[in-house]
Structure 1
Amino acid sequence: MIYSCMKYSLAENHSGTRYKVPPLHHIIPRIHLLSYLKKRKDRKVFLIVGRAGQGKSALAADFLTRNRLQYTWLNLTGEERDPKLLLECIVRGLTGKILGKNSSPAQPPLLGTVLNIIQEQTEGDHFIVFDNFQRVKSSREIGEQVEQLIALLPDRLHLIILSREYPHLSLTKLRIVRDLVELRSDDLAFTEEEIHTLMQSQCQINLNRAQMTGITGVCEDWVTAFISLIELLDSRPQSERNHLIERFIEQRKLPALDAFIEEEVFNPLSEIEKAVLTRLAGYNSIQALLATRLIGEDGVTVLKKLIERNILLRWVDESLTIFSFHPIFATFLVEKFQALPANEQTELHRRAAFYFQDYGDRDEAIHYFILSGEYGKARDIFQEIAEDSLEQHKYDKIHELL
């Protein structure tokens, strides 16, 4: 059985779903990760950071459920940027009551009072889970509140933070005293052994080396991409499955993933962020100089911030300021680019052509001059390459260009 990493139902302003745990039916047990967490379950803080659809919530819920651990699960909506509301939510999750409802809102509950209530309402070890912590990450007050909470947690109380972005918290001391467990996107990625097992158990397919290389090359470390592919294969006849794998490797897309990216990754972005990503679509890697030529220096600043937020974008070489999109996200963005007005597409291709010409990449310059309709310039560069190749007896180069 498998689970979907797609977003589970959250009604952000409804108290009944603020405390809702992700469903655990149809899950893929991450045995090695569950074992890793179980061995460290006595530690004070667990920090699991990964991009959307990386299985953070499902892993944490499975860990708590399998080990029969007590927990209070809080789905952060963004409203809890006010520290007093965060404390109210913790208490309400435990007791079902609003703390201090007979007192004035100007008199928020003290952290010590909340910790006393938690200890009174629980027995043995208890875990407080902050899911979607990235929604309150920008609040300095929340950061200070959580740091105080960590400092004051009794030994039997533990905190699990699930976030798409690394939180602004001081965790150095916890690392030094080995009281922190950290998992990131690379840790959450499926191993080759897991992929083989899933394909065999769910789809009755034994992947050959080329298929494994192709699938991992397209999905990289994104758990939802693997699961979406497996769910598609599982729903189709055995005779079609190898063909579907080859098509997925070639096209680098699935309808379910397009829908997920649209809802969970692209739509929450600002209009400026959407514009920057769309106008950089189609490049295997993006140097800061190319990005500046295409969209201006402000666009590079936007890209750096998006990487920090764990969008489907990563550093290829941070020292050289080279970025790369996740392959499936790149395909998604190309379709957004193709929806731009034709004159804007042409202008972006023209800027790219001149950039590659200026930096000596004549092959790419020809490609983008052709896309921009500047056939004369493409012909001139082709002629230069042909003449150089003839002089150096590099006839294969001329054949390659043709």
Structure 2
Amino acid sequence: LDPNRLPRTIDGLINALTGELDDETLLIIDDAHLIDEQPELRALIERFIMAQPPRLHLILAGWHEPDSPLIATARLRGEALLIETADLLFTSDEAAQLWQQAGKTLPVDFDELMSFSAGWPLALRIALDATNWRSALGLREQKSKPALDDYLEREVFARLPTPLQRCLQRSAGLRWITPDLCAAIDPTFNSSELIAELRRRRLFVEPFGEHGVRFQPLIAAWLSRRAAADPEWVHLHRKAAVYFQQHGDHESALYHQIAAGDPAAVTTFLPLARTLLAERRAEAVLDWMRRLALTGDETPELIEIQAAALHQLNRLEAALATYRRAERAFAASGDRLGQSRCLRGQAAIYLDTVQPAPATDLLRRALKLLPRQCGAERIELLLMQAENWAN
């Protein structure tokens, strides 16, 4: 078609429809999101909206709402119905019905599947046919590339304008995106505008904090795989770790240190683990140890931390054995304070299970190892002894 004749063609179509339509009619324009990249197409669609025939209802179908003031005005006037992404997502009941109709048993971790998939129909369809939905959706390491990756590369990434493609490439290894963090990673980012565009396009993001966004779990896992294949991301992970260290977010710093293969990650982990234990987050401690590929035998402090986490999780036999291992390691290095802490840890387990006899000897030995100047620690041990005598 001759671009110069398109306006006349649209006007002719409008006139014909106005005169010929004798019933309510739907006109569907697919891939309407493309008008954002084609101003001449936007002008034609807006011309059609302004002179829309009375019996004609226009449906714009696309990946996101086109950036058009006329469409925004129609929404404000109540003349447009917006069907959002959330309206198309499966609820847990709807997903359970899908499994029932397919004659399949719900996964035992169905709630986790719904959390990770966010009800996305394509993800649920893949999971429905999979033996292991975590592997099929790319949430577990495997030799072959998840089927979902090809779809995301072709249907999501390749369709984005170049600035947004670069935004995803430069933020692929991040757990979330904020303007300050993006600026620390790459000062050339116009991060506020890009984050606003991610939100407008509803690119599998959800709000994070006041100004940031984070990707939904499946998309975050895909982006992490992209980052892992990009050599530049080792450097970017290190920059992100420094940023989070400076802002006191040691858990996020540890995440990026591990991703960068930074040996300093263990040094970050030790004080973080004690904080997590104080917050009763023992499972997080053991999870970080798995990510660090720590067996617990590297240093006496790590063995002690592992024992404390097992104790919090009520895995008492394993905790006792681990505390004993830590005690021996501290003794071998001549660390009397460490030995005392591990003896106190074992005694605490016996106190929890009301076994005063073994606790008595452990508390006595722990107190004997403590120097006189450790007043607070000695008071704690004496209070535990009093509790034990009461038992």
- TM-score normalised by the chain length of structure 2: 0.60
The match for 1:129 among 25, 28, 31 is 28
Over aligned residue pairs, what C-alpha RMSD do you find?
3.8
Question: Are the equivalent residues in 2 in contact too, given 1:291–1:297 (CA < 8 A)?
Answer: no
CA distance in 2, matches of 1:315, 1:187: 18
Change (3 A) 1:155 1:216: same
Give the structure 2 partner of residue 308 of structure 1: 200
Higher RCO (CA-CA < 8 Å; seq separation 6+) = 1
Give SS of 1:298's match: coil
1:362 matches 2:253 = no
Give the structure 2 partner of residue 333 of structure 1: 223
> Which structure 2 residue ranges, 5 or more long, are not aligned?
286-300, 310-391
1:261 matches 2:148 = no
1:156 matches 2:51 = no
- 2:246 is matched by which residue type in structure 1? D
CA offsets, 1:247-296, max 9 Å, x none?
45782798332221111111233555334323322433233222221122
Residues 1-400 of structure 1: pairs in structure 2 closer than 5 A = 84-85=5-6, 108-109=8-9, 111=11, 113-119=12-18, 122-167=21-66, 168-171=68-71, 174-175=74-75, 178-206=78-106, 210-211=109-110, 213-230=111-128, 232-233=129-130, 240=131, 244-245=132-133, 247-248=135-136, 251=139, 255-298=146-189, 300=191, 301-317=193-209, 320-341=210-231, 344-375=232-263, 377-378=264-265, 380-381=267-268, 399=305
The offset of 1:360, in angstroms, is: 0.9
- 1:307 is matched by which residue type in structure 2? R
The offset of 1:205, in angstroms, is: 2.0
- 2:89 is matched by which residue type in structure 1? A
CA offsets, 1:332-363, max 9 Å, x none?
2222112212xx23211211221111011223
CA distance in 1, matches of 2:280, 2:101: 51
Question: Are the equivalent residues in 1 in contact too, given 2:136–2:147 (CA < 8 A)?
Answer: no
Give SS of 2:244's match: helix
Comparing 190-199 with 392-401, greater Cα deviation is found at 392-401
Identity %: 23
The offset of 1:298, in angstroms, is: 1.3
Change (3 A) 1:276 1:181: closer
CA distance in 1, matches of 2:45, 2:16: 17
Give SS of 1:159's match: strand
Instruction: Select the structure that is richer in helix.
Output: 2
- 1:326 is matched by which residue type in structure 2? Q
CA distance in 2, matches of 1:164, 1:378: 40
CA distance in 1, matches of 2:24, 2:140: 45
CA distance in 2, matches of 1:326, 1:227: 17
Question: Are the equivalent residues in 1 in contact too, given 2:89–2:121 (CA < 8 A)?
Answer: yes
Q: Indicate the structure (1 or 2) with the bigger Cα radius of gyration.
A: 2
Change (3 A) 1:299 1:248: farther
The offset of 1:165, in angstroms, is: 2.2
Change (3 A) 1:363 1:295: same
The offset of 1:161, in angstroms, is: 0.9
CA distance in 1, matches of 2:274, 2:102: 56
Give the structure 2 partner of residue 19 of structure 1: none
Give SS of 2:81's match: strand
Change (3 A) 1:277 1:83: farther
- TM-score normalised by the chain length of structure 1: 0.59
Question: Are the equivalent residues in 2 in contact too, given 1:214–1:249 (CA < 8 A)?
Answer: no
CA distance in 2, matches of 1:327, 1:287: 17
> Which structure 1 residue ranges, 5 or more long, are not aligned?
1-78, 88-107, 234-239
Give SS of 2:251's match: helix
